[in-house]
Amino acid sequence: MQSGLHSFRRTLLRSLRPSHKVYSTYAHAKRSWVLAGTTAVAVSSLALVFSAGFGNLILLEDETRNLDQQKRTVLAGGQELIPYDEVQKHATRGDCWVIIDGMVYDVTDFVSQHPGGAEVILRNAGKDATRIFKPLHPPDALDILDESQRVGPIDPLSVPALEEVETEEDKRIKEARKSLPPVDAMLLLQDFEDWGQRILSGTAWAYYRSAADSENTFHENRDAFRRYWLRPRILRKVGHGDTKTSFLGIDTETPIFISPAAMAKLGHPLGEVNLTRGAGKAGIVQAISANASCGLDEIMEAREEGQKVIYQIYLNKDRKASEILLQKVEKLKPAAVMFTVDVPWQSKRTMDTRAKNTVNPPIKDTAGGDKKSRAPLGVSEAIGGYQDRDLSWEDIAFIRRCISVPIIVKGVQSVEDIELCVKAGAEGVLISNHGGRSCDYAPAPIDILYELRCHRPDLFNQIDVLIDGGVRTGADVVKALALGAKAVGVGRPFLYANGTHGQEGVERVCEILQEEITNTMRNAGATKVSELVPEMCGLAGPWVGGNRPPYAPKI
């Protein structure tokens, strides 16, 4: 009997601990949380006292009492477990509790300040919010709350068992996964995108794929690469060679890097950790998103020995918060920081917002009153509320005072601003328009790179120039390298691949690009990246008249 009681006690205590495995973020997974289901049967009208080295767990009184009169379960240290029915009483804008990973939080003061809007909290007021919280937040996201807002652990025996409900979307994804090809059958980056649309949840697909307004820049980013053609040179020995190169002193096996892309957990439970591990296996650099759904420490611990990463930084409205973050980043020793400036104002990311309106239509505040409820925000808008909208060139100096590693300014969209980045002391620039997610009708990055090559080629010797946006093939990478880019960033394809095949998908994207880069380089007459020169790439059509670039060789 004693052995059985100890076994029961261990089972119950395990249920009190926060778990990172409670929910699967795959949309097709069963969405339920049955707490202490087997142990609750054993408790009916007994008072049980268990002894342990660290103290006693006391279950008080008969569980069949009227819930309004039920006493709370008390740990020997004096901490009370919060009954579920008590949490349900706090479900309004003026009095709001939620449960996350077994802990009850009072978020009343935070509701109106939540960057994702009050509705996402009010929709889950008085309930367990773990399932929607974890895919969108790193593990340390709750550290901003003070102790007074941590009400205490939920009493697992008071939580009703939830029925397993399979939604229509769950069924759709489950069926799609049955026909998902093995990762080696994915031959193009487009394959991952096509399957990602079928496999990912509606929320994940909308966030990853979404772009600004009418999405003109998004489409132009890809279409622009078709305007630039290679001019292969023949009778060159191309039997041996490699794709190794470096930028900002960072060595890489292939001249690509993972552009900072947030919310990888929307596609896979391991989130950005898969990107880190995949990049490590392939020997390329990952730029870690400032809005990653995994914690920074967790991502850094997933690196292979000697693996280099870049950390993206958005400056906070509270500069002290940014200073503290940069000090933490400095201690983790990234190879560089990527100061992101291409989202000075929040754009309307149409697909993302529509998806949230479909899944979570506006709700009426149960507290009543005249305050109108906002329409639900898309994931993009929900995670960016802390960003400063009043950036200036002086902020590069602010970052320099906080950190010693190279600074890359991400989001440069004109030759004029590249020159200003040089004057401001940045070591690198990333020509980017945020994947078409910020200013609609912004120019395609490859066009700005070509303009820089034609009119200010001297700047290539003063700052390392990177590019991302619209890259879907190894040939795209080779074109950018020939025009002067040191390396080329890829974002969405890695998120799609992570969603379909996890880490194996991330590694496969690297394999596909390396193969295509190698093939294109050698067929163009180059065996290494340094042999790719501007004379090998230009606008499509004959190089005559106005189509002849200023760097074209004399004939």
CATH number at residue 24: 3.10.120.10
Name the more confident of 369 and 523: 523
pLDDT value, residue 117 = 57
Compute the distance between CA of residue 258 and CA of residue 289 in angstroms, rounded to an integer: 10
Tell how strand 103-106 and strand 150-153 pair up.
antiparallel
My answer on whether 426 and 510 are in the same domain is: yes
My answer on whether 245 and 357 are in the same domain is: yes
In a domain, 554, yes or no: no
Q: What is the DSSP string of 53-120?
A: TT--EEE-S-TTS-GGGPPPPEETTSPBPBPHHHHHT-EETTEEEEEETTEEEE-GGGGGG-TT-HHH
Number of domains in the chain: 2
My answer on whether 148 and 196 are in the same domain is: no
My answer on whether 420 and 509 are in the same domain is: yes
**Cα 534-540-544 angle, rounded to 5 deg:** 80
Report the range out of 319-323, 520-524, 546-550 with the highest average pLDDT. 520-524
pLDDT value, residue 30 = 35
Q: Which residues are catalytic?
A: 434
Domain containing residue 408: 182-361+394-541
In a domain, 167, yes or no: no
Per-residue pLDDT for 411 more than 50?
yes
My answer on whether 54 and 130 are in the same domain is: yes
Per-residue pLDDT for 205 more than 50?
yes
State mean pLDDT over 72-96.
85
pLDDT value, residue 131 = 81
Report the range out of 5-14, 200-209, 411-420 with the highest average pLDDT. 411-420
My answer on whether 216 and 306 are in the same domain is: yes
The total of other beta-carbon atoms located within 10 Å of residue 161's CB is: 12
At position 442, the amino acid (one-letter code) is: A
In a domain, 376, yes or no: no
Q: Which CATH number characterizes residue 231's domain?
A: 3.20.20.70
My answer on whether 8 and 91 are in the same domain is: yes
Q: What is the mean pLDDT of the chain?
A: 83
Question: pTM for the whole thing?
Answer: 0.79
- pLDDT band at 515; cut points 50, 70, 90: very high
